[in-house]
């Protein structure tokens, strides 16, 4: 293995540090893929691809890369699959590899091109993480890349997780919008496909999914425009294809956004709580508690409509939870209003690490909660206001339920939180970073003494 430094390029901003690794591709040929500094800079689209290619070459025994679709401006929407329990992984025992080989054979026979879909409840073990749907939310892209980093370059720290779960990560759902936001208009949110009838460009991809899509915003000039029809956008079609095919294996779907500093569960489209809201609340609270113990940052938890104080139709998380019946699905809004959509680069690694700490605990919790959730046996989901409800009595009550306990515990907590402002929290976290690196190492097992430049800048 050979390591080199690559010459820095500069376009008015600091060029990322790049290291390179030589990877044997064939016996006679070696391929060198530079490694962009994923933890300390906002990468451009080409650098994100370069990092994904670096990872898939370096960890080819358990990482695969898929192209899910092509955007209007001809960029690729890509997914990384991190699957430790597979036949190519030489670190597994021969028995395990033989078992995995059987699955691979079945997959090959089926002729499917994407990640494997396996029969049976025991194979419901996929954690699906997506980010970068909203162009300006750069920190979500960096944070999802940090998840990839943790599960590959730091895989030994996460080996238990990898033995039980399979990860699919889409770090940049909306590359056209992201590049436009990086180079033209930092505040851009939608994708970049123009509308035929007007000069206006862009659809909010997170209003374009087929779950009560008709209730979404119809004005093309709005930031939250729902699109011409469900899945009118190449980005959402790309996501639909992989999500629909993996539906039988999905365990926990996580959609990263910013900057609400909150972990939220369905429904977005209506104010009722879903039937299994308790499990979702437990899952979200696990994430919140983990992050608070990591560095004191306080997330809010609750349903999307409750925390955002509005209803949101056609979102991916409602689609995955409501249509595909994934046992668990959450939205995580990273910090924070005071930092804006693009926190300073010094914060990328901090936010990435603290978020991973929360995400990792939620993944473990999702694995533990899986037996308690039987989505096929629950009553039908409620309809949003204004949509006729033929079912009747199928809506889970928002007031009480069978064991008589009051529902929706979020309101009290929101009030309590306002006592300590987000800015104060943030200042305290920065102070903690400077003052106590040793304490952080103790409370945060993600960080080891030989930490490979992944600490705060
Ligand atoms: Zn967003």
CATH code at 271? Answer: 3.40.630.10
In the structure, ligand 1 is a single-atom ion and the residues with CB under 5 Å from it are: 134, 257
Domains: count for the chain? 1
Cα 233 to averaged position of ligand 1 atoms, centre (Å): 17
Cα 384 to averaged position of ligand 1 atoms, centre (Å): 22
pLDDT per residue as tens, the chain (457 positions)? 343 444 344 344 444 455 555 444 444 456 788 999 999 999 999 999 999 999 999 999 999 999 999 999 999 999 999 999 988 888 888 888 888 888 888 888 877 788 989 888 889 999 999 999 999 999 999 999 999 999 999 999 999 999 999 999 999 999 999 999 999 999 999 999 999 888 899 999 999 999 999 999 999 999 999 999 999 999 999 999 999 999 999 999 999 999 999 999 999 999 999 999 999 999 999 999 999 999 999 999 999 999 999 999 999 999 999 999 999 999 999 997 677 888 999 999 999 999 999 999 999 999 999 999 999 889 998 888 777 644 333 333 322 333 333 344 444 444 444 445 666 777 777 777 666 554 443 333 323 223 232 222 2
Beta pairing partners, 329? 253
Cα 246 to averaged position of ligand 1 atoms, centre (Å): 23
Is residue 290 included in any domain, yes or no?
A: yes
Is residue 392 included in any domain, yes or no?
A: no
Cα 137 to averaged position of ligand 1 atoms, centre (Å): 6
Cα 220 to averaged position of ligand 1 atoms, centre (Å): 18
Is residue 310 included in any domain, yes or no?
A: yes
Is residue 394 included in any domain, yes or no?
A: no
Cα 257 to averaged position of ligand 1 atoms, centre (Å): 4
Is residue 381 included in any domain, yes or no?
A: no
Q: Which residues are catalytic?
A: 333
Is residue 323 included in any domain, yes or no?
A: yes
pTM value > 0.85: no
Is residue 151 included in any domain, yes or no?
A: yes
pLDDT score at 421: 65
Cα 134 to averaged position of ligand 1 atoms, centre (Å): 5
Is residue 3 included in any domain, yes or no?
A: no
Q: List the domain range (segments joined by +) for residue 294.
A: 18-376+407-443
């Amino acid at each position: 293995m050979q390591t080199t430094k690559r010459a820095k390029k500069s376009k008015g901003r600091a060029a990322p540090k790049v290291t390179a690794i030589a990877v044997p591709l064939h016996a006679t040929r070696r391929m060198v893929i530079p490694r962009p500094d994923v933890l300390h800079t906002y990468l451009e689209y080409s650098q994100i691809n370069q990092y994904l290619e670096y990872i898939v070459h370096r960890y080819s025994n358990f990482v695969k890369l898929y192209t899910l679709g092509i955007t209007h401006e001809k960029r690729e929407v890509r997914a990384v699959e991190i699957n430790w329990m597979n036949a190519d992984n030489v670190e597994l025992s021969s028995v395990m590899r033989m078992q995995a080989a059987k699955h691979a054979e079945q997959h090959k026979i089926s002729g499917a091109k994407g990640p494997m879909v396996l029969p049976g409840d025991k194979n419901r073990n996929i954690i699906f993480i997506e980010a970068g749907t909203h162009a300006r939310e750069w920190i979500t892209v960096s944070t999802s890349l940090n998840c990839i980093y943790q599960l590959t370059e730091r895989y030994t720290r996460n080996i238990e997780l990898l033995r039980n779960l399979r990860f699919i990560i889409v770090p940049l759902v909306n590359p056209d919008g992201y590049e436009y936001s990086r180079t033209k208009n930092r505040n851009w949110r939608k994708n970049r496909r123009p509308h035929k009838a007007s000069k206006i460009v862009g659809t909010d991809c997170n209003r374009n999914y087929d779950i009560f899509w008709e209730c979404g915003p119809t004005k093309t000039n709005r930031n939250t425009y729902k699109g011409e029809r469900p899945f009118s956008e190449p980005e959402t079609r790309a996501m639909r294809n992989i999500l629909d095919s993996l539906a039988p294996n999905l365990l926990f779907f996580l959609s990263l956004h910013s900057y609400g500093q909150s972990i939220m569960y369905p429904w977005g489209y209506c104010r009722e709580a879903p039937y299994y809201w308790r499990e979702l609340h437990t899952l979200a609270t696990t994430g919140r508690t983990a992050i608070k113990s990591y560095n004191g940052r306080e997330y809010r938890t609750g349903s999307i409509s409750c925390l955002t104080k509005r209803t949101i139709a056609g979102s991916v998380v409602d689609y995955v939870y409501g249509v595909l019946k994934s046992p668990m699905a959450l939205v995580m809004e990273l910090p924070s209003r005071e930092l804006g959509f693009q926190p300073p680069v010094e914060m990328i690694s901090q936010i990435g690490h603290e978020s991973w700490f929360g995400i990792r605990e939620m993944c473990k919790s999702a694995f533990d909660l899986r037996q308690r959730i039987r989505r096929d046996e629950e009553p039908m989901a409620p309809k949003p206001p204004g949509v006729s409800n033929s079912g009747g009595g199928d809506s889970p009550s928002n007031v009480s339920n069978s064991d008589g306990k009051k529902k929706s515990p979020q309101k009290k907590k929101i009030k309590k939180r306002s006592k300590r402002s987000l800015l104060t929290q943030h200042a305290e976290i920065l102070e903690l970073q400077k003052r106590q690196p040793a304490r952080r190492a103790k409370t945060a097992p993600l960080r080891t003494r030989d930490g490979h430049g992944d600490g705060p800048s």
